Amino acid sequence: MKQYLEETVMLNYDHPTIQTLIQQQHWQSLDGIPQIAAIYDYVRNQIVFGYNVRDDLCASQVLADGYGQCNTKTTLLMALLRAVGIPCRIRGFYIHKTMQKGALTGIVYFFAPQKIVHAWTEVYVNNSWVALEGVIVDDCFLQYAKPKLQAKNGGLLGYGIAVDLQDTFDVDFCGKSTYIQSYAITDELGIFSSPDLFFAQYHNTPTWIKQRLFAILRKRINQRLTVMRNTIKR
């Protein structure tokens, strides 16, 4: 288990802002499933759904941004879990871009790859590995998106969500796996001990042009997501 507890460049859990957060939230005073659930809920709802400048940000930068998507939330969640001594790893996939319709629109959606690099955290609890994909979308945005999802091929898709029609959007962690985008998976890319290793091999903006384009347009995307979220808060 040692490799699933190590600090890395991306999982920089000794960073002052991460250590301060852990102390403020009193996560060290918890244990087992309640401890995992508290950290998971913080990343899911306090780090709202949004698009960072790139996938391979370190955990402290994701925390500073205050928003994230599947890949960046995975990094932050892993760092926080390891910081309190909970083993975790990253599992990678490709997902089809149709599930991003509504969250991504126009030229951004057009230039998005057909298969998007996707990852989730797996945490070791009760002698087994449990998936924490449900961390991606915050409750407020999920409430906005639910009635707008499109039924397709037995699933509900859109706005960064892809679930089986039979699912009940049970994204609260209580010891079992949680999912929110898994219905769009097309290929599995394997299990890695750290996001550093995964994103060194897989990333969504392979060219300089795409990196620059996304860096410019993502701000507009995040503004739209905020407007959507605010319609629920009113």
Looking up residue 68, the CATH number of its domain turns out to be: 3.10.620.30
With 80 as the cut, is the pLDDT of residue 3 above it? Answer: yes
Query: Are the C-beta atoms of residues 143 and 171 closer than 8 Å to each other?
Result: no
Mean pLDDT: which of 117-126, 158-167, 214-223 is highest? Answer: 117-126
- Checking DSSP bridges between strand 115-125 and strand 88-96, what pairing results, if any? antiparallel
Helix (H) or strand (E) run with residue 211 in it? helix 208-233
Please give the residue range of the domain that contains residue 129.
2-233
The structural domain count of the chain equals 1
Q: How far apart are CA 122 and CA 54, in angstroms?
A: 21
By 3-state DSSP, what share of the chain in percent is helix, strand and coil, each rounded to 5? 45, 20, 30
Mean pLDDT of 129-140: 97
Q: Give the predicted TM-score (pTM) of the model.
A: 0.95
* CA distances to 103, 105, 184 from 171, in Å: 19, 25, 17
Place of tokens 């089809």: 96
- Checking DSSP bridges between strand 67-68 and strand 48-49, what pairing results, if any? parallel
Mean pLDDT: which of 63-72, 161-170, 205-214 is highest? Answer: 63-72
